[in-house]
Structure 1
Amino acid sequence: MTVLSLQRRILLTFIASSALVGLLFGASAIIFAYHTEDQLFASLLQAEAAYAEQQLAAGSTVQPRLPFIRYASDIAALPKPIQAKLQQAPERREFALEQGQHYHLMPLSRGFLLADVTDQLIVRAIRPQLAEFLLLLLAVVLLSAAGFAYVLARRVLKPLNTLTQQVDSTALQPDKAVSGFADDFAADEIGRLAQALQAAWQRVAEFISREQQFTQDVSHELRTPLTVMQGALTLLQHGPLSAQQQQYVQRLQLAQQQINQTIDTLVLLAREQLPAAVPVKLLPVVEQSVLQQQAKLAGKAIRLELDIAPSAQLIMDPMSLLMLLNNLIGNAFDYTAAGVIRISFAGQVLSVQDSGAGIDEQLQSQVFNSGIKGANSTGMGIGLSLVKRLCDKWQIAYQLQSDNSGTCIRLTFP
């Protein structure tokens, strides 16, 4: 869709307005000329009518003083086309005949004065010159309006163009936003807009800085105790443990693994730049995610179906793909008590379908928002919001279908 700049809009608006005013002025000038000419003929006829009435009152023959005016004693003495038109409209006083003749009529106490003004029509004679003059005047008006609009637009929009360039450069390099740039603008509407933008940028920059620093601090502070926990769990695994103790250790390892993945997800989402995309075999990553989430299937009568070709691959960061799968597969394992969970891939579309109770219809439009979860959810309501944010970063389309027979989430990879 082509978008006109403000400068062009102002220019076109001035030209269109001037053209409209010029056309209205030209039409008014032509109408005024014709009206003036008609009034002149009417005035001449009125003067001749007064003179003719004096002659009639004296009983003499009516002799008009102007050569193009003649006296008709009755309607029968008028030209036949005029007689026909008078029968249809007795009040009519001006007649344009088909042969190009033009008449004005003035009724007297006895008879009529008929003025043949065909050769007296000044406006008709000068109409081509008048049209040329009006067109020339319109061209001068349009050129003047265009020049005035161009100069005005340049002067008025110059600070706005400067502000736009500043916004564009800041959008490309938000970390290099110029502080105090709003002081360069006058205290008008654009200046107030610049002040508001500067304040907003400052708040956004501070917020981003705090978020990045928080993510770095959390990542750094949590990795040390996690490393200690991993060492302790490794030692426990090599020691004499009962079957129940082994199960507890496995659960602790799974929880530690999930914490590590959560930290990696937060760090990834906090970065502006994406990791390098590389060809990734999809099936091994799906199998890895299933193994990481398998504890959630313990004691459940669930059949897992994988329909993914061994050769299927995606161009993506492996860690980001694993995070996506862990959230989707983990949810399917969590909220399916029995039945079938099917994971398939075809035509760049990855589907994770379960046979759980489904998602409440009222929540489906909001389920990808942070903190939204169903009544039976045991999580924090951030899993699908992380999926949405990862999909947005990697330009992956996502679609959810859910009813009481289960839930299916489809990811369409570019």
Structure 2
Amino acid sequence: MSADSRKNTAKFHSISRRIVLQFCIFTLVISAVYGLISFILMYTLEDSFIEQQLQQEAARLDSHYQTSGQWLPPASNSMQLHFSRDTLPDEIREKALAEPKRKEFAGQQGRHYHLYTVTPQPEVLLLAEVSQQLLVRPIRGGVLQFLFISALLVTTLACLIAWFVSRKTTRPLKQLAALVDNVAPEQLSQRFSKPFASEFASQFANDEVGILARTLEHSLSGIARALKREKSFTADVSHELRTPLAVIKNAAELWQSQQTGSQQAAPPQTEPDSDKLLMTRIYDAAVQMEKTVQTLLILAREEHAANKYSSTELMPLVEWAILDNSILLQGKPVTVQLCDSCQVSISANADMLKVLLDNLLSNAFKYTESGEVSIAFSENNLIIRDTGPGITADIYPHITEAGVKGRQSTGFGFGLAIVKRLCEHQGWQMSVSSAHVSSDKGTTVRVGFTQ
């Protein structure tokens, strides 16, 4: 899947929406915690009030006992004195015996008891049935409902505030994204010239977004300058290389025409003229250089060739590329195996295909010291396989990057980078396998052509 398709199919995650969602969740959690604390606090205050009443009554009873030696009856009818846990009401006796430190007991039919120890030795207990004094427990359902509704209202209000704040906070980011997104690559040199660049970052506040805007401005200005330099370089190459190539080509054509006229007046020669062969090679090389320069200029300008999908015979181009690069095999025990499967017509630009073949075959011929270089075509794939040393594992992941080459290389490392750009430009698929990273011997390059 290409980067563009991944970009289009990837789900968009709005920062503003995430701020609102996180703020709402945070508020809901805080409301729940606050409601729980409030509920517990209500119970605690209620129990503390009852405990305070029991303490006051126990102090009064103990004070009288210390003075007179007799226990007074409790002042309230809801309180009882017990001198043993065995005399406690049946509904709480077992729990009181099992848990001596427990102070609260739930009885039957809504009764609720608080137990307070007046004296530990001998044990004197003050028991209060406080169901009539309870305020929170009878209305706890309503309290919970009130807290729940309050939490929802607070959360809704918080979500509205978060929506307003997020819109205000992310508005500069959206403006920055719109400014950058609306600039096409070919417009960078105009949009990010100095006058516009000074306005680009100055419209944002001196905050994190402003820092991001200035960073983007600096980066995009650098890209704009690089594109401008590339365009200037392309124009210079177009002018400086085409003119001398045209001179060489025209001179060779003129010489050939003069030789043709002189041969008609002179008797035929039995042996081939070496000068004529040399000039023919110069002429053919000039023509090929012209086509190569044109192909590279098309790549530099990101243009598409008009005859991109024309039908091209593969075999003559392969044979031509073999002859052009055969000098690299001189003195080497290397056999070139050209399979009959290459006798096919493919949909491709002949000039670009010739550049691709020259680069791939020159690599194969250059690095193969002995053995075989085979060229085959199978299932719409061009396969070039050699028996060279292969590609080392340390540079294999970057072998199609410009300037990457092996230690034994004498070139500049641009061959496979040009092939990769050609394949990307024409929609072809290229893969490279090597003995260091697969079971293949040497290096195998596959180029898949579109149907």
Deviations 1:312-350 (A, max 9, x none): 634x54443333233223322333344433334444543
TM-score normalised by the chain length of structure 2: 0.81
- Conservation of the 8 A alpha-carbon contact between 2:85 and 2:97: no
Aligned equivalent of 2:356 = 324
**Secondary structure of the corresponding residue to residue 406 of structure 2:** coil
Aligned equivalent of 1:233 = 252
1:9 aligns with 2:51: no
- Conservation of the 8 A alpha-carbon contact between 1:76 and 1:83: yes
| 1:4-403 equivalences in 2 (<5 Å) | 4-57=13-66, 58-60=68-70, 62-80=72-90, 82-97=92-107, 101-109=111-119, 110-171=123-184, 174-175=187-188, 177=191, 179=196, 180-235=199-254, 239=259, 245=275, 248-249=278-279, 251-253=281-283, 255-276=285-306, 278-281=308-311, 284-297=313-326, 299=330, 301-306=334-339, 308=341, 313-314=346-347, 317-403=349-435
Q: Which moved more, 1:181-190 or 1:142-151?
A: 181-190
Shift of 1:206: 2.1
- Conservation of the 8 A alpha-carbon contact between 1:285 and 1:322: no
Shift of 1:377: 3.1
1:312–1:53: structure 2 CA closer, same or farther, 3 Å change rule? farther
Using the alignment, how far apart are the partners of 1:279 and 1:7 within structure 2?
Answer: 47
Using the alignment, how far apart are the partners of 1:63 and 1:349 within structure 2?
Answer: 108
Q: Which moved more, 1:296-305 or 1:32-41?
A: 296-305
- Conservation of the 8 A alpha-carbon contact between 1:107 and 1:113: yes
In structure 1, stretches of 5+ residues that fail to align are none
RMSD, matched Cα = 3.0
Using the alignment, how far apart are the partners of 2:372 and 2:298 within structure 1?
Answer: 32
1:390–1:101: structure 2 CA closer, same or farther, 3 Å change rule? farther
- Conservation of the 8 A alpha-carbon contact between 2:79 and 2:127: yes
Shift of 1:253: 4.5
- Conservation of the 8 A alpha-carbon contact between 1:398 and 1:411: yes
Using the alignment, how far apart are the partners of 1:44 and 1:347 within structure 2?
Answer: 97
1:325–1:205: structure 2 CA closer, same or farther, 3 Å change rule? same
- Conservation of the 8 A alpha-carbon contact between 2:325 and 2:358: no
1:59–1:261: structure 2 CA closer, same or farther, 3 Å change rule? same
Aligned equivalent of 2:3 = none
In structure 2, stretches of 5+ residues that fail to align are 1-9, 260-268
Using the alignment, how far apart are the partners of 2:420 and 2:104 within structure 1?
Answer: 81
Using the alignment, how far apart are the partners of 1:32 and 1:132 within structure 2?
Answer: 16
Deviations 1:164-213 (A, max 9, x none): 10111014653452613323223333223323322332222222112112
Q: Which moved more, 1:205-214 or 1:247-256?
A: 247-256
TM-score normalised by the chain length of structure 1: 0.87
1:112–1:396: structure 2 CA closer, same or farther, 3 Å change rule? farther
Using the alignment, how far apart are the partners of 1:225 and 1:51 within structure 2?
Answer: 121
Give, as a single letter, the amino acid of the residue that structure 1 aligns with 2:241. L
